[in-house]
Structure 1
Amino acid sequence: MNITHFVENLNRGGLERMVIDLVKAQHRQGDKVQVVCLFERGSLAGELDRLSIPVHACGKKTGLDLRALACARQFIAGHYTEVLHTHNAVAHYQAVLASAGMGIRQVVNTRHGMGGANRKGGRREWLFRRALKATDAVVAVCEAARRDAVRRGVAPARKTCVVPNGIVVEGFDVASDAMHERLTNLLKIPDATRIIGTVGRLNWAKDQASLIRAFRLVRHKRPNTALVLIGDGELRETLRACAYDEGVAGCVHFLGDRDDVRELLQGLDLFVLPSITEGYSMALLEACATGLPIVATDVGGNAEIVSDGATGRIVPACDPPALAEAMLGLLHESQRASRLGRAARDWVEAHGSLDAMAARYGRLYFGDWEAVT
């Protein structure tokens, strides 16, 4: 099968990680796959280059860019595309416009988040809805996102389904004392320090500011703790200032974008996802695969991954005291935290694998809706 994935770019992020892993799985099973990037190729494109999987960039400029559309059309047509799989709203309507009249057998769009930034009246959503006439399926990554998209009129119920994200679980080792020691050495902190960590872009949606404020409360009762933020973004300096204002700047560590996230996760004692909005978080799946106790906010698909009291803790968003209380509880009850971490690993092995996700998309590409839903 000739498959074209159409994205904005392949810069580091959960969406991009999912696309690359899915492309690799499809390549292994014999499909002819390419990725077309609306803007630049992105920092992760090299992973596909090493497998000789084509990654093309259209170099789109601001506004209507006919040259970029023509470029995209050439890439889609030259691949003899049978399945056009787009990711999120902008990539979707641009790809549908670029491929108009080609008669592609199956056009599938995956919406990777909750779409909170683009309400029903927004221009992007209006263009997305117009493109649905040439779309066979709109995939949400969690049931909460599917219901929200239907409720807001973003997509009709008859065209929506859910395919949860998946990861290569076998690639993750569980947290260990040896990796904890490695991380404390990296941070230059005492070996006995309990390390709380999060992974994600430093932006408004991930709400690391609430985590920093909650961490101040944790430090008041557990002075031997440190907070690690893995990822980068436009709020880096704002969050540094927040840590300073809260009086915890000396024990909040900004590690930036990293290529060794899996190893860093293995050194944590506790994983926290404080997001205001989420789809189906790849970071949460990775924390589950590492066997970490987890605290996550009750937004998007988080509660579809973390079962409160069974595989972690779920707390309200934008509530630093509640976040701090949950973190302190797991830091205090180490045996309970270990049980939750083991249960999270068992859950992701059964429900969050890349193979399960790839198989669902494969059935959807052939129009087998019943097998997907």
Structure 2
Amino acid sequence: MTIRVLQFICPAGYYGAERWVNALLSVPPSADVEQHLAITEEPGVCDEVLQRCGLPEARQHRIAMSSKFDLRALKGLVDLIRQQRIDIIHTHGYKSDILGAIAARWAGIASVCTPHGFENSTDKKLRAYMWLGGKAFHWFDWVCPLSPDIQQTVLTQYRVNPAKVRLINNGVDLAEIERAMQQPAVKTSDDFTIGYIGQLISRKNISATLEAFALLQQQAPQSRLLLIGDGEERQRLTELAHKLGVAQKVEFLGFRDDRLQLLPTFDCFVMTSSLEGIPRCLMEAMAAKVCVTAFNIPGVDQLISHQRTGLLADYGDSKALTALWLRLIDDPAAKLRLAEAGCQFVYQHFSAQAMERAYCQLYVEMLNPRAV
């Protein structure tokens, strides 16, 4: 029996959740599963997740949505489920969780959601989505957080029944990394280069990165910072770089299709987030043999073991982060050793193949428990 699964996401761009979906779809199914992907087609929304999914066109779908929350899209989603004879809907993100949970009940099919993380933003609209998304968790047959910390939040803050919560660790498309490393970008500067790839939003706490870099400039002026990505914080961060006197050594590169090829131009990767799941950009950097440095928070600690697979500073300690960078400048051999160990760790524990096998097992179990 073929199990038809509809991956459903309301794309915010082409960031962690969108790339997670494509990592899952990049792996040939380990069971008799036929994957479909649907996105909401909203004004100004990026459809790159659909363009890059690699599925046959007949299994790529768009749900018309005239505004940020057009309830008429529900009917379009239910019609698609019925037309394609979908057995399971698998959702990603607050809005898709809300729509997907209702559509699954309406269409009478099984449902699973993957919480990719939570925001600590004060934005009232975003917090309303989070609250509704949390309520929607209770409607799903399974909730599958991708890190232990997210699992704990689902269980304690949202009080989801533990019997229907299953941890399935995040995974990265290692083949995509390997393809990118075949044609890496060439480093054009002798400066010690610190890089970041991801959204420029409040929970990524890029201000702390800039503050640590400003301290580094005082002791190692032959250094630079590359920020790849975009978001609502970009203007404020640009102004902060000027205020700190480091604007000439900080490059805001925006969203880049060649971001993975740029990884080898980094001497180290940095992450100073206040809240994460298991960050995909950090896994990608490690898989590309880039030494990683970060603030020690839940999720990040699943990837970085201090002085074994990378370097950690206490959350908010910009001076300590600066000291880690100075250590790498002074000890290139340690930088290479940490990069190699980080790469091996990701290959052993966080492959998309392992993630896909776990989900296929769940899909089979959802429709036929006796087959497990």
TM-score, normalised relative to structure 1: 0.88
Contact 2:138–2:160 (Cα < 8 Å) also in 1: no
- Partners in 2 of 1:10 and 1:25 — Cα distance? 23
- Alignment partner, residue 226 of structure 2: 228
2:17 maps to 15
Which residue matches 2:60? 54
**Residue correspondence of structure 1 range 70-219 to structure 2 within 5 A:** 70-104=75-109, 106-117=110-121, 123-173=128-178, 182-184=186-188, 191-219=189-217
Q: Which residue of 2 aligns with 1:188?
A: none
CA distance 1:319–1:280, change in 2 (3 Å): same
In 2, Cα distance between the equivalents of 1:17 and 1:113?
A: 14
The change in CA–CA distance for 1:133 and 1:295 in structure 2 (over 3 A counts) is closer
Asked if structure 2 preserves the Cα contact closer than 8 Å seen for 1:196 and 1:269, the reply is yes
When residues 14 and 135 of structure 1 are mapped into structure 2, their CA distance, relative to the original with a 3 A threshold, is: same
Q: How many angstroms does 1:129 deviate by?
A: 4.6
How many residues are matched?
Answer: 358
Say yes or no: does 1:324 pair with 2:330: no
Shift, 1:4, TM fit: 0.3
Match of 1:363 in 2: 361
**Worse-matched range after superposition: 222-231 or 2-11:** 2-11
Q: Hey, what's the Cα distance between the residues in 1 that align with 2:108 and 2:179?
A: 47
Structure 1 unaligned segments of length 5 or more: list them. 185-190
- Deviation (angstroms), 1:224: 0.8
2:338 paired residue number: 340
Structure 1's 231 and 33: CA in aligned 2 closer, same or farther, altered over 3 A?
same
Aligned AA for 2:78? R
- 2:293 maps to 1:295: yes
How far apart in 2 are the matches of 1:132 and 1:220? 49
- 1:117, 1:154 → 2: CA distance? 21
Match of 1:38 among 37, 40, 43: 40
Secondary structure of the residue aligned to 2:36 is strand
Change over 3 Å in CA distance of 1:27–1:48 after alignment to 2:
farther
Q: CA RMSD in A?
A: 2.7
- Which whole-Å CA distance do the structure 2 matches of 1:354 and 1:310 have between them? 23
Match of 2:240 in 1: 242
**Native 8 Å contact 2:40 2:64 kept in 1:** yes
Q: Which runs of 5+ in 2 are unaligned?
A: none
Indicate if the aligned counterparts of 2:309 and 2:339 stay in contact, CA closer than 8 A.
yes
Matches within 5 A, 1:272-283: 272-283=270-281
Q: TM-score by structure 2 length?
A: 0.88
* SS of residue in 2 equivalent to 1:357: helix
How far is 1:167 from its partner? Answer: 1.4
